[in-house]
Amino acid sequence: MYARRRRAYFLLMGGCLFLFVSAWAFVRLFSVEAAVALCVVAMVIPPVAAMVANRRGPDDRWWDDPTGDPKSDEWWDELDGKPPRKD
């Protein structure tokens, strides 16, 4: 899961960089308005890339989900500063 999210992040950021560089390298020679539009599109991509890279996968442990292993849950609760569970 992590590799897929990382690949998607780098593809989105690569596309962002491509749009920004191409806008001011050669698109501005034909149309400044189109170059500005490309930069506006490129400006929207980094927050989307961050959301894609940080979204929780179905196999990822969420911060408050119990794992089912009592020893592991006890350890995570200790790290999170939670009181011990009373079963």
Q: What is the pLDDT of residues 33-79, one digit of tens each?
A: 999 999 999 999 999 999 988 887 766 666 666 677 788 778 877 87
pTM above 0.75, yes or no: no
Q: How far apart are CA 14 and CA 41, in angstroms?
A: 13
pLDDT of residue 33: 96
- Tell me what pLDDT residue 64 has: 63
Residues in the chain: 87
- Is pLDDT above 80 for 86? no
Q: How confident is the model at residue 13 (pLDDT cuts 50, 70, 90)?
A: very high
Cβ partners under 8 Å of residue 80, min gap 6: 63
Residue 74 is encoded by which pair of tokens? 């006890």
